Structures are given as C-alpha cells and as structure tokens.
Amino acid sequence: FVALFLLLHNEMVTGVYKSQEQGEVENGRCITKLENMGFRVGQGLIERFTKDTARFKDELDIMKFIYKDFWTTVFKKQIDNLRTNHQGIYVLQGNKFRLLTQMSSGKQYLDHAPKYLAFTCGLIRGGLSNLGIKSIVTAEVSAMPTCKFQVIIQTM
Amino acid sequence: MSRQANRGTESKKMSSELFTLTYGALVTQLCKDYENDEDVNKQLDKMGYNIGVRLIEDFLARSNVGRCHDFRETADVIAKVAFKMYLGITPSITNWSPAGDEFSLILENNPLVDFVELPDNHSSLIYSNLLCGVLRGALEMVQMAVDVKFVQDTLKGDGVTEIRMRFIKRIEDNLPAGEE
C-alpha cells in the first residue's frame, strides 16, 4: 500500500501542476490544493486511528502521538527529531523523508520540494484539527532528503 | 510478541486507509476541476497509466516473478501476486474467451471504495478507473498491449466489481506508444 501511496502522491503533485498555468499565483494555488487534500485525509485518518485510544492528557501528549505513532504508521519510520519551545511551536525533523527520497538530491530540485511536502503539511494539520487543535503547518527543506515540519499551535 | 503483531496489522490498516482516503480526496478534487465525468475518467486512467509504468519496476523487483509465457500466466500473476501485494486482495479469474485473449477479474471487495458512495450526479464516473490505467501501463512495460475496463462496479449497485482485460498484441518495439 505504501508503494502505491507514494506513486499516487507523485502523480497528484504532477497532475495538479499540469492543470494550472505557470506563475507565482498559480504555484500558490496548487500548493493550497495539495494541502487541502492532505487536510481532509489527515482528518479522516486520525478519526479512524483514535477511535479506540484513550483521550490525550495535553498538547504535548498529542504532539508526541503525532510524532510517534501516527508518523511511524504513515511513513514507516520514526521522525528523527522533535523539538519544542514549550510555547506552542514544534519542529519535527525527518531525515530521508520518504516522499522526497524519490527525487534526486540536488540543488535544482529544492525549488520543487515544497510541492511534495504540501500534502503532508495538510495531513498533519488535518490530524491535529480533528483532535481539537488548530495549527499552521509549514515545511522546509534545506538539504534533500531531510526536511523540517514546523507546527505552530494557535491558541484560541 | 502480540503487541508487535498488533502494531503490524494496525500499521497495515492505516497504510491502506491512507491510500484509500488520498485516492478519495483526489477523485473529489478531479470532479471539482473537470466539468464532466468522462474527463475525470480519462484523467484517472492517465494518472493510473503513469503509476503503472513505474509500479511494474517495483513489482518485478519485489516479486521475483519470471517472464510470463502466455496471457493465462499473466492473468494468474496479476490476480495472485500483484493484486495481493499492492491491494491485499486476490481477485478471481473467470470468463475466459474461447481464444484465450480476454478474461475477467472479479473483485469481491474493492479496497479503493471503502466508505465511498457515489453521489447521484456522477453516475458515469468510473471511480476506480485508476486501476485500469495502472494495469495498462504496467503491462505495456512488459511488452503487452491490453485493453482494460470496468464491466461491473459495486459502487453502482452491482454485486461484484468486474474488470475485463483484453490482450491486443505483443509490443515488439522498445518505445512505448504515447509516452507522456
């Protein structure tokens, strides 16, 4: 299933971009489309995944769940690093992020990396949203295939 | 030990759900982008084709299956190895044409459509059309030109899902037609 998912994800990214024209605005729209798809999927996944688990104690508990169980199950690998400033900002770092390992590691591909991370950002945001947490999730790639996801919790 | 096993099945379930949900989100998005069902079907087929073309490499590497000598062998491999490996199901093979160049794959349940319902205004949408493209693309890479289409679909109220595969010809040249 994972192999299928990776290929499907690749196709989706390519497909979304093909159907739009070139340009900065369009690029933003494509990223939003992908992020929104990820969001819906994340919501659905978390709903099914947490049907049987007990409620979480606090925010950190939830983040740990995302970083350990949710992440490992989805990407088959533990996230390498989780940092937080204990004030609502979490950074998850993944070395050899699966969705990126399919692309060559080269500077010229850095520009395209965000397209491949948009879906996952949405996935995290959707998952958190269904757990009652509103957030902003962004991703950054400084060197392929390592990437950092930054989750900013928005307090009401 | 049992904890490990639990993790395993849970993880597998989640992977399949991730795929099913993602596929659903994709189809939903395509329906928004394209005005009519026919166009969505075409897009799904095209995307499936691109996936199939790459999936075959993964398949050959992981399954250690040798070259198939005839279409019957191909059918067996598709149903018993490929479908099992990627979708966790084993469709049955039936309805062979007398010439041995056409057969049907019967899927009792289609993982792609878990929790999916077709709204009334999308009656000509072939929801799982991606599968047709995947099969077509993968087989083209092993020099077989085939025609694949859905004949029955549980989403449309049929009892089972039936995919009909027809062998067109062996591709002699190494260049696949219509590469995109």
Task: Walk me through the domains of chain A, giving residue ranges and CATH numbers.
Answer: 1-12+24-153 (3.30.1380.20)
Domains and CATH numbers, chain B: 16-170 (3.30.1380.20)
Rounded to an integer, the average pLDDT of A143-153 is 79
pLDDT higher than threshold 90 for residue B22: no
Q: Could you tell me which chain B residue has the CA closest to the CA of A102? A: B54
Tokens of A114: 């965000």
Q: Which of A4, A14, A41 sits opposite B21 (nearest CB)?
A: A41
Summarize the confidence of residues B87-94 as an average pLDDT: 90
Question: Could you tell me the pLDDT band of residue B129, with boundaries at 50, 70 and 90?
Answer: very high
pLDDT above 70: residue A47: yes
Strand partners, B165: B103, B148
Strand ranges for chain B from DSSP E: 92-94, 102-107, 144-152, 161-170
- The 10s digit of each residue's pLDDT in A89-140 is 888 877 666 666 555 555 555 666 777 788 888 888 988 888 888 889 988 8
pLDDT-based confidence at residue B5 (cuts at 50, 70, 90): very low
Hey, of A2, A7, A34, which one would you mutate to test binding to chain B, going by the most B CBs within 10 A of its CB?
A: A7
Whether residue B7 has pLDDT greater than 70: no
* Strand duo A146-153 + A89-94: pairing: antiparallel
In Å, how far are A52, B32, B51, B117 from B112, measured between CA atoms?
23, 19, 15, 11
Q: What is the ipTM of this complex?
A: 0.75
| Residues with Cβ within 8 Å of residue A125, at least 6 apart in sequence | A35, A38, A39, A42, A135, A136, A137
Specify the pLDDT at position B3: 46
Q: What angle do CA B48, B49, B50 make, to 5 degrees?
A: 90
Per this entry, what is the length of chain A? 156
Q: Residue with structure tokens 């049987």?
A: A52
- Write the residue in A8, A40, A48 that is nearest to B19 by C-beta: A8
Residue type, A2: V
**Residue B165 pLDDT exceeds 50:** yes
DSSP state letter for A108? G
The amino acid that residue A50 corresponds to is T
* 3-class secondary-structure state, position B117: coil
Say if residue B180's pLDDT is above 50: no
Buried b (16+ CB within 10 A) or exposed e, A113-122: bbbbbbbbbb
- For residue B15, the model assigns a pLDDT of 74
Q: Quick check: B135 pLDDT over 60?
A: yes
pLDDT of residue B164: 94
Structure tokens at B86: 């990627």
In this structure, how many other beta carbons lie within 10 angstroms of the beta carbon of residue B158?
Answer: 12
pLDDT of residue B64: 84
Report the predicted TM-score, pTM, of the whole model to 2 decimal places.
0.80
Average pLDDT over residues B97-116: 88
Partner A, chain B 49-68, Cβ-Cβ below 8 Å: 50-51, 54-55, 58
Average confidence (pLDDT) over B18-36: 86
Please state the φ and ψ torsions of residue B124, each to the nearest 5 degrees: -100, 10
pLDDT at B34 over 60: yes
Q: Which of A29-33, A132-136, B143-147, B170-174 has the highest mean pLDDT?
A: B143-147
Q: Which residue of A has its CA nearest to B45?
A: A11
Nearest residue to B150 via CA among B180, B130, B172 = B130
User: In angstroms, rounded to a whole number, what is the distance separating the alpha carbons of residues B125 and A149?
Assistant: 36
Q: How many CB pairs under 8 A join A and B?
A: 76
Interchain proximity B21–A40, CB inside 8 Å: yes
Percent of chain B residues past pLDDT 70, beyond the cut: 89
Window B:72-101, CB contacts with A under 8 Å? 86-88
DSSP category for residue A79? -
Asked whether the predicted pLDDT for residue A76 surpasses 80, the reply is no
> Which pLDDT does position B113 carry in this prediction?
85
Burial of B30 (0-12, 13-18, 19+ CB in 10 A): buried
* A37 touches B at CB < 8 Å: yes
pLDDT at A56 over 70: no
B34-50: average pLDDT: 90
Mean pLDDT of A48-55: 67
pLDDT > 90 fraction of chain B, expressed in percent and rounded? 28
Structure tokens at B77: 């491999």
For residue B18, the chain A residues in CB contact (below 8 A) are: 1, 5, 41, 45, 74
Position B4 pLDDT exceeds 50: no
Mean pLDDT of B3-12: 55
Which percentage of chain A shows pLDDT scores above 90? 1
Q: What mean pLDDT comes out for the span B117-129? A: 83
User: Cβ distance A125 to A61 under 8 Å?
Assistant: no
Query: B80: part of which helix (H) or strand (E)?
Result: none
Please say if the pLDDT value at position B1 is more than 80.
no
Q: Tokens 């998912």 label which residue? A: A5
